[in-house]
């Protein structure tokens, strides 16, 4: 079969104008749905261009009330990916090949892809949370191609994915733009193992809230995402990034520079958080926000997790000013925190295959 060999790219700024009845899923990690919802509803320009339909585990369903672009939605920082819902295939014992192929080749798919793609539309088919025999998947692809030869299955160079999600009502068939690099997080010049998922870092910054003349410290800074996301919200006077790994500190410094963090003084330190008294720029009892994703015991092993977190909370109690906040990911069911710290919120979130609590503590 004849296929264009020219690469296809997404048009993030192209406007989708026929929006009536178009359902969009903003998919995110479980536990971050409320952040996505609130970010949309509070956004100064998007809140009146989209209508909230439903919030469910890992998904915020919306519909557009005016023309929009994919780039418009990328003003929101706490979702993971954007999905245009093509339809639902009723639940059955086996994959309904004909019904699925019909949705893939539908006029809606063609309209969105032709509007938002430079070059020939290409997609890759992915069955989420399910194992589907290769022959079945190939049959779907072949039938879709027979109905729409202009839409090519090409998993190597496809700017689109068609994801099939098993839901209670059936299989939700969704068209997802494969946006890479993510335009929201292009400041990531480099990364470290076990660093925070960027939308989760953005949610942590949102949870922290804003105060003026903020002094922010991350004692396990990793690649610096939490500090950058908090800085982007404004009101930050000083940023202090420290980590026991010198390589992480260097990467955090590079990322902070690439993010253009110029609205605050920035200092970086390679040291153990227990040696906080040696950090010259760390004001004793003067930190307004401590925001951190410490080792959680999975990708980075910790011999005494309970002891580590007790020390983290003691250090927070010493260094936070009155009214200061600690925002932290906590894998423990119980935490022995000093009496001067009060838990304000603590909800479970998916941190990559397992759950932790995303907690906010306040210094009394």
Cis-peptide into 181, omega within 30 deg: yes
Q: When comparing pLDDT for 298 and 125, which is higher?
A: 125
What the block records as the tokens of 140 is: 């779907």
CATH topology of domain 185-363: Rossmann fold (3.40.50)
CB atoms closer than 10 angstroms to residue 184? 18
Neighbours of 305 (CB within 10 A): 16
Please name the residue ranges forming H helices in 117-194.
Answer: 134-147
Structure tokens at 71: 């780039």
Tell me, what's the pLDDT at 166?
92
Fold that domain 9-177 belongs to in CATH: VC0802-like (3.30.2130)
In percent, how much of the chain has pLDDT > 70?
A: 99
Tens-place pLDDT, residues 156-169:
889 999 999 999 88
- Per-residue tokens: 278: 């040696």
Average pLDDT over residues 168-193: 95
Q: Which pLDDT score is estimated for 129?
A: 85
What pLDDT band is residue 359 in, cutting at 50, 70 and 90?
A: very high
User: Could you tell me which residue, 137 or 91, shows the higher pLDDT?
Assistant: 137
Rounded average pLDDT over 298-320:
91
* CB burial string 188-209: b at 16+ within 10 A, e below: beebbebbbbbbbbbbbbbbbe
pLDDT, the chain, mean: 94
Structural domain spans, the chain: 9-177, 185-363
Model pLDDT for residues 50-102, shown as the tens digit of each residue: 999 999 999 999 999 999 999 999 999 999 999 999 999 998 788 999 999 99
State residue 5's pLDDT score: 63
Q: What is the model's pLDDT at position 1?
A: 38
Beta strands in 108-235 (DSSP E): 117-118, 122-127, 152-153, 160-167, 170-177, 214-218
Give the pTM: 0.95
Which has more pLDDT, 263 or 3? 263
Q: Tokens in use for 260? A: 């253009």
Most confident of 208-212, 225-229, 350-354: 225-229
Cβ–Cβ < 8 Å for 310, 336:
yes
H/E element, 34: helix 33-42
Give the pLDDT score at 4.
54
Give the integer Cα–Cα distance in Å for 157 and 155.
6
Contact present, 187 and 255 (Cβ < 8 Å):
yes
């Amino acid at each position: 079969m004849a296929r264009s060999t020219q690469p296809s790219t997404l048009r993030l700024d192209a406007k989708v104008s026929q929006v009536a009845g178009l359902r969009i899923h903003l998919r995110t990690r479980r536990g971050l749905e409320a952040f996505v919802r609130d970010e949309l509803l509070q956004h100064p320009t998007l809140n009146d261009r989209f209508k909230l339909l439903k919030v469910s585990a890992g998904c915020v369903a919306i519909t557009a009330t005016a023309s929009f672009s994919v780039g418009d939605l990328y003003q929101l920082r706490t979702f993971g990916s954007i999905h245009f819902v093509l339809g639902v295939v009723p639940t059955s014992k086996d994959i309904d090949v004909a019904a699925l192929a019909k949705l893939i080749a539908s006029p809606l798919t063609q309209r969105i892809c032709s509007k938002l793609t430079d070059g020939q539309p290409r997609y890759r088919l992915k069955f989420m949370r399910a194992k589907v025999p290769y022959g079945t998947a190939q049959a779907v692809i072949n039938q879709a191609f027979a109905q729409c030869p202009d839409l090519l299955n090409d998993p190597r160079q496809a700017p689109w994915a068609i994801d099939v999600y098993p839901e209670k009502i059936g299989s939700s068939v969704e068209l997802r733009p494969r946006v890479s690099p993510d335009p929201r997080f292009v400041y990531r010049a480099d990364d470290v193992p076990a660093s925070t998922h960027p939308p989760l870092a953005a949610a942590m910054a949102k949870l922290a809230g804003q105060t003026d003349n903020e002094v922010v410290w991350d004692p396990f800074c990793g690649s610096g995402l939490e500090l950058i996301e908090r800085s982007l919200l404004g009101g930050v006077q000083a940023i202090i990034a420290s980590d026991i790994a010198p390589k992480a500190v260097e990467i955090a410094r590079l990322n902070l520079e690439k993010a253009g963090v110029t609205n605050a003084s920035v200092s970086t330190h390679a040291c153990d958080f227990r040696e906080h008294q040696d950090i010259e720029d760390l004001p004793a009892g003067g930190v307004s926000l401590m925001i951190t994703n410490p080792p959680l015991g999975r990708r980075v092993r910790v011999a005494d997790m309970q002891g580590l977190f007790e020390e983290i909370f003691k250090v927070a109690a010493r260094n936070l000013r009155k009214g200061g906040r600690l925002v932290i990911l906590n894998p423990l069911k119980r935490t022995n925190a000093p009496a001067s710290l009060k838990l304000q919120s603590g909800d479970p979130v998916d941190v990559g295959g397992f759950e932790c609590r995303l907690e906010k503590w306040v210094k009394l």
